[in-house]
Amino acid sequence: MKTADILKLSLNSLTHRGLRSWLTILGIIIGVAAVVAMLSIGNGMTASIESQMQGFGADILTISPGYTKASGADGGFDQMRKQMDRMFGTADDDSDSNDPKLTDTDIFVIKGAEGVEYVQGIITGSRVEFEYLSESVSLNVEGIDPKVWDQMTTSTIESGRSLNYGDSNNIVIGSSVATMFDQTLTVNTQVKIEDKTYKIAGILSQAGTGGFGGDDRAVFMTHDAARELNEDIDSDEYSSIEVKITDTDYVDDTIKNIEDMLYYSRLVDEDSRDFTISSSTGMVDTITSTMQTLSFFLIGIAAISLVVGAIGIANTMFMSVLERTHLIGMLKSLGTRNSEIMKLFLVESGIIGFMGGIMGILLGLILIGFISNMGVSFMGMGGRMGGATTSVAIITSELLLFALAFSTIIGIISGLIPARQAAKLQVVDAMRG
C-alpha cells in the first residue's frame, strides 16, 4: 500500500468520525496550549527578573545586619526577602529591631579589605508620605553618601544634579516619582516629605529596577536628612552597607576578605556571625532557580492535560479498530502486510496529535497575547514600562517546534497498541467481524 493511500484512508477515517475526532483533538489542543503558554511565560518571567536584577550591579555587594544560618553566604531566601523589603520600603518598622547594628566602624574596616573600591552606608526605614500640592503618595526614602553614590549607582541623572554634602533640604527622585502626580515634577520643584519641605535637585533616568540606587520609585537624600526622618537610627548607624568591588571575577574572594575583616572587628566567628553579605549574582541565582522550579511545576500540571489527551487518542483508536475490523480483513485478503496495517493506524493517531499540536500552539499564542495585553506585572514585568507595552512571555521557534513534535509523538505512541492489535487480526476473524 502506498504512503499516499495510507494517508488518504487515515484522513477519510478522521473525517467520517466527525465530532468524535474533534473531541479527541481538543484534549491535545488544551494540553499543548497550556504547555506553550506556561513555558513562554515562565521563560519571560525568568529573563525579566534576570534583566532587572542585573541592574543592581554585578560589582555591588550588600552587608546587612543579622544572620540566618539557613540563608548561607549568598543571602538566600531570608536575606533576599529582607533586601526586597528595604528596596521597596515594605519592611515592618520593627522587622530588624533585634538585629545587630552596622556602624561607621564597619565601613572603616570594610574599606581596608582587599578587592574593595567604594563603600557607603545606606539608611532606609518605613515608607513616608510624599506630598505635592494636594496629592500624596507613599514612597521609600533612602539615605546615601553623596561622596561615592555617583560611582556606585547604576542610574544616571537625567535632569538637574546629584546630591552634595550639606544638601539637607535637597533630594533626588526616581523617574517614576516625577510622573506620579497630575503635574509632572521637575528640577527645583518643592515637595513635602512628612510635613518637611524639600527641593528636587535631580531626577534619575529610567532604570526599571529597584535597589542599589536605581529604584525608579525611590527618593534619595543625604544621611543627615534621612536620619531626621528615621529618628530611631543613631548618628553612626546604617540600615545596610553597600560595597563596590574592583573585579567581578573575584566576587567570592572579596566576600571572604570582607568577612574575615568583620569577624575580627566585630569579635565574632563563622558560627556567631551577626551580619550577612549578599551579592546580586547570588540573588539572581536564587530567584532564577525558584522561577525554574515554579515553571517545571506549572508545566507538570499542564502536561496532565496531554496525558488525558493521549488517553483519549488511545480510546478513539481502539474504537476505530473495532469499527474497521471488516476493512482490515479486506485489506489483508488483498495482500496488505501487517506493517502497512500498523502504519494506517499510526498515521491516523499521528495526524490527531499533529493537528492538536498546531491548534494548541495557536491557542497558546492567543493566551499569551491576552495575558500580555492585560498588562500582567510581577516584580516590574509586563504591562507598561516607560510608556511602552512589554510582553511577559518569550516565544521561541524551538519551543513551538518542540510542542508540535511532542504532540505528534504523543499521538503516535497513543495509537501504538491499537495499531498492533489491528495488525494481529487474522483475515478470517476480521472478515467475519
Report the DSSP beta bridge partners of residue 276.
Answer: 64
Q: What's the confidence (pLDDT) of residue 1?
A: 62
Set of cell numbers at residue 193: 516629605
One-letter amino acid at 90 equals T
pTM of the model: 0.59
Q: Are 138 and 130 in contact (CB under 8 A)?
A: yes
Q: What's the confidence (pLDDT) of residue 183?
A: 93
Q: What's the confidence (pLDDT) of residue 63?
A: 93
Q: CA 131, 204, 281 angle in degrees (round to 5)?
A: 115
- What is the domain partition of the chain in residue ranges? 3-53+286-432, 59-280
Report the DSSP beta bridge partners of residue 199.
Answer: 170, 190
Closest residue by Cα to residue 29 from 346, 367, 316, 292: 367
Q: Are 125 and 240 in contact (CB under 8 A)?
A: no
Set of cell numbers at residue 356: 492538536
Q: What's the confidence (pLDDT) of residue 129?
A: 92
Q: Are 29 and 359 in contact (CB under 8 A)?
A: yes
The residue ranges of the chain whose pLDDT is under 70 are 1, 5, 49-57, 68-99, 208-215, 282-284, 374-392, 428-433
User: CA of 232: how far to CAs of 7, 110, 127, 145, in Å?
Assistant: 79, 24, 14, 19
Give me the helix-helix angle, 280-323 and 416-424, nearest 10°: 20
Q: What's the confidence (pLDDT) of residue 302?
A: 73
Set of cell numbers at residue 93: 518598622
Give the whole-angstrom CA distance, residue 157 versus residue 203: 6
> Which pairing describes strands 128-132 and 116-124: parallel, antiparallel, or unpaired?
unpaired
One-letter amino acid at 184 equals T
Q: What's the confidence (pLDDT) of residue 391?
A: 54
Write a three-state SS string for the chain: CCHHHHHHHHHHHHHHHCHHHHHHHHHHHHHHHHHHHHHHHHHHHHHHHHHHHHCCCCCEEEEEECCCHHHCCCCHHHHHHHHHHHHHCCCCCCCCCCCCCEEHHHHHHHHCCCCEEEEEEEEECCCEEEEECCEEEEEEEEEECHHHHHHHCCCCEEEECCCCCCCCCEEEECHHHHCCCCCCCCCCCEEEECCEEEEEEEEECCCCECCCCCECCEEEEEHHHHHHHCCCCCCCEECEEEEEECCHHHHHHHHHHHHHHHHHHHCCCCCCCCEEEEEHHHHHHHHHHHHHHHHHHHHHHHHHHHHHHHHHHHHHHHHHHHHCHHHHHHHHHCCCCHHHHHHHHHHHHHHHHHHHHHHHHHHHHHHHHHHHHCCCCECCECEEECCEEECCCCCCHHHHHHHHHHHHHHHHHHCHHHHHHHHHCCHHHHHHC
Q: What's the confidence (pLDDT) of residue 318?
A: 84
Region label for 76, one of left (φ > 0), alpha (ψ between -120 and 50) or beta (otherwise) = left
Residue that has been written with the C-alpha cell 506556561 in this structure: 38
